[in-house]
Structure 1
Amino acid sequence: MIDGKRLQVWVEYHGREKRMDVTLAPSGVSKPKTPLLSSPLDLSSIVNSEMYVGFSSSTGALISSHYVLGWSFKMNGQAQELTLSRLPKLPRLGPKKKSRLLKNGLPLVLASVILAGVSSVVYFVRRKRKFAEIVEDWELEYGPHRFKFKDLYVATKGFKDKELLGAGGFGRVYKGVLPTTKLEVAVKRVSRESKQGMKEFIAEIVSIGRLRHRNLVQLLGYCRRQGELLLVYDYMPNGSLDKYLYNQPKLTLNWSQRFRVIKGVASGLFYLLEEWEQVVIHRDVKASNILLDSGLNGRLGDFRLARLYDHGTEPQTTHVVGTVGYLAPELTRTGEATPCTDVFAFGAFLLEVACGRRPISQSSTDVILVDWVYSFWRKGDILEAKDPNLGSDCVADEVELILKLGLICSQSEPEARPTMRHIVQFLEGDIPFPRMSSLRLSSGIAFSHRTGFDEFAMLYTSSLNNKFSHSSSAEASLLSGGL
Structure 2
Amino acid sequence: MLANSFAAAFLLLNIISFSASQQAEFTFNGFTGANLTLDDVAYIESNGLLRLTNDTFQMKGHAFHPSPIHFGSTTSSFSTTFVFAIISEYLDLSGHGIAFFISPSKNLSSALPSQYLGLLNIQNNGNLTNHIFAVELDTIYSSEFQDINDNHVGIDINSLKSSRSYFAGYYADDSGAFQNLSLYSRKAMQVWVEYDSQETQINVTLSPIGKSKPIKPLLSYTYNLSTVLNDSMYVGFSSSTGSVHTSHYILGWSFKLNGAAPSIDLSKLPKLPRTTPKDRSKVLDIVLPLASAAFVLILVVFIFLYMKRRFKYAELLEDWEVEFGPHRFTYKDLYRATNGFKENELLGSGGFGRVYRGVLPVSKLEVAVKRVSHESRQGMKQFIAEVVSIGRLRHRNLVQLLGYCRRKGELLLVYDYMPNGSLDKYLYDQEKPMLNWNQRFKIIKGVASGLLYLHEDWEQVVIHRDVKASNVLLDCELNGRLGDFGLARLYDHGTDPQTTHVVGTMGYLAPELARTGKATPLTDVFAFGAFMLEVVCSKRPVEPGARGERIILVDQVLEHWKNGTLDEIVDAKLGECYTVEEVEMVLKLGMLCSHPLPGARPSMRQVMQYLEGDTPLPELSAAYMNFSMLAMLQTEGFDSYVMSYPSTMTSFSGLSGGR
TM norm structure 1: 0.67
1:131 Cα deviation after fit: 1.0
Partner residue in 1 for 2:450: 268
Q: Is residue 2:439 matched to residue 1:439?
A: no
Give CA-to-partner distance per residue, 1:64-85, whole Å, 9 cap, x none.
Answer: xxxxxxxxxxxxxxxxxxxxxx
Select 1:294's aligned residue among 461, 476, 500: 476
SS of equivalent to 1:295: coil
Equivalence map 1:336-351=2 (5 Å): 336-351=518-533
Partner residue in 1 for 2:327: 145
Change (3 A) 1:329 1:447: closer
Distance in 2 of aligned mates of 1:323 and 1:439: 26
Partner residue in 1 for 2:370: 188
Partner residue in 2 for 1:176: 358
Distance in 1 of aligned mates of 2:357 and 2:298: 34
Distance in 1 of aligned mates of 2:295 and 2:626: 80
SS of equivalent to 1:231: strand
Partner residue in 2 for 1:373: 557
Partner residue in 1 for 2:574: 390
SS of equivalent to 1:186: strand
Query: What amino acid is the match of 1:227?
Result: G
Give CA-to-partner distance per residue, 1:160-217, whole Å, 9 cap, x none.
Answer: 0000000011110000000111100000001011010000000000000000000000
Q: Is residue 2:465 matched to residue 1:280?
A: no
2:592·2:602 contact (CA, 8 Å) conserved in 1? yes
Equivalence map 1:125-274=2 (5 Å): 125-248=307-430, 250-274=432-456
1:433 Cα deviation after fit: 1.3
1:252 Cα deviation after fit: 1.9
Q: Is residue 2:509 matched to residue 1:327?
A: yes
SS of equivalent to 1:273: helix
Distance in 2 of aligned mates of 1:442 and 1:378: 12
Distance in 2 of aligned mates of 1:336 and 1:373: 28
Give CA-to-partner distance per residue, 1:379-416, whole Å, 9 cap, x none.
Answer: 02222211001111111111111100000001111010
CA RMSD in angstroms, aligned pairs only: 2.1
1:238·1:292 contact (CA, 8 Å) conserved in 2? yes
Partner residue in 2 for 1:419: 603
1:370·1:446 contact (CA, 8 Å) conserved in 2? no
Q: After the TM superposition, which of the residue ranges 355-364 and 419-428 deviates more from structure 2?
A: 355-364
Distance in 2 of aligned mates of 1:137 and 1:405: 49
2:454·2:461 contact (CA, 8 Å) conserved in 1? yes
Distance in 2 of aligned mates of 1:216 and 1:233: 10
1:189·1:230 contact (CA, 8 Å) conserved in 2? yes
Name the structure with the higher strand share.
2
Distance in 2 of aligned mates of 1:204 and 1:420: 22
Query: What amino acid is the match of 1:389?
Result: K
Distance in 2 of aligned mates of 1:446 and 1:289: 27
1:190·1:229 contact (CA, 8 Å) conserved in 2? yes
Distance in 2 of aligned mates of 1:383 and 1:177: 45
Q: Is residue 2:600 matched to residue 1:402?
A: no
Distance in 2 of aligned mates of 1:186 and 1:353: 24
Name the structure with the higher helix share.
1
1:410·1:446 contact (CA, 8 Å) conserved in 2? no
1:411·1:446 contact (CA, 8 Å) conserved in 2? no
Distance in 2 of aligned mates of 1:363 and 1:293: 34
1:424 Cα deviation after fit: 0.2
Q: Is residue 2:538 matched to residue 1:356?
A: yes
Query: What amino acid is the match of 1:405?
Result: L
Distance in 1 of aligned mates of 2:522 and 2:428: 27
Distance in 2 of aligned mates of 1:294 and 1:112: 58
Query: What amino acid is the match of 1:275?
Result: D
Select 2:306's aligned residue among 117, 124, 146: 124
2:397·2:447 contact (CA, 8 Å) conserved in 1? yes
1:122 Cα deviation after fit: 2.9
Q: Which structure has the bigger radius of gyration? A: 1
SS of equivalent to 1:251: coil
SS of equivalent to 1:445: helix
Aligned residues: 339
Partner residue in 2 for 1:430: 614
1:309 Cα deviation after fit: 0.3
SS of equivalent to 1:220: strand
TM norm structure 2: 0.50
2:554·2:629 contact (CA, 8 Å) conserved in 1? no
Equivalence map 1:13-92=2 (5 Å): none
Distance in 1 of aligned mates of 2:513 and 2:383: 21
Query: What amino acid is the match of 1:270?
Result: L
Distance in 2 of aligned mates of 1:112 and 1:163: 43
2:372·2:411 contact (CA, 8 Å) conserved in 1? yes
Distance in 2 of aligned mates of 1:146 and 1:375: 50
Give CA-to-partner distance per residue, 1:121-171, whole Å, 9 cap, x none.
Answer: 433221111112232111111121011000000000000000000001111
RCO (CA 8 Å, sep 6+): is it higher in 1 or 2?
2
Distance in 1 of aligned mates of 2:616 and 2:318: 54
Distance in 2 of aligned mates of 1:165 and 1:391: 31
Change (3 A) 1:113 1:161: farther
2:595·2:625 contact (CA, 8 Å) conserved in 1? no
Distance in 2 of aligned mates of 1:120 and 1:288: 48
Partner residue in 2 for 1:93: none
Partner residue in 1 for 2:89: none
1:250 Cα deviation after fit: 5.0
2:424·2:470 contact (CA, 8 Å) conserved in 1? yes
Query: What amino acid is the match of 2:591?
Result: L
Change (3 A) 1:300 1:394: same
Query: What amino acid is the match of 2:494?
Result: G
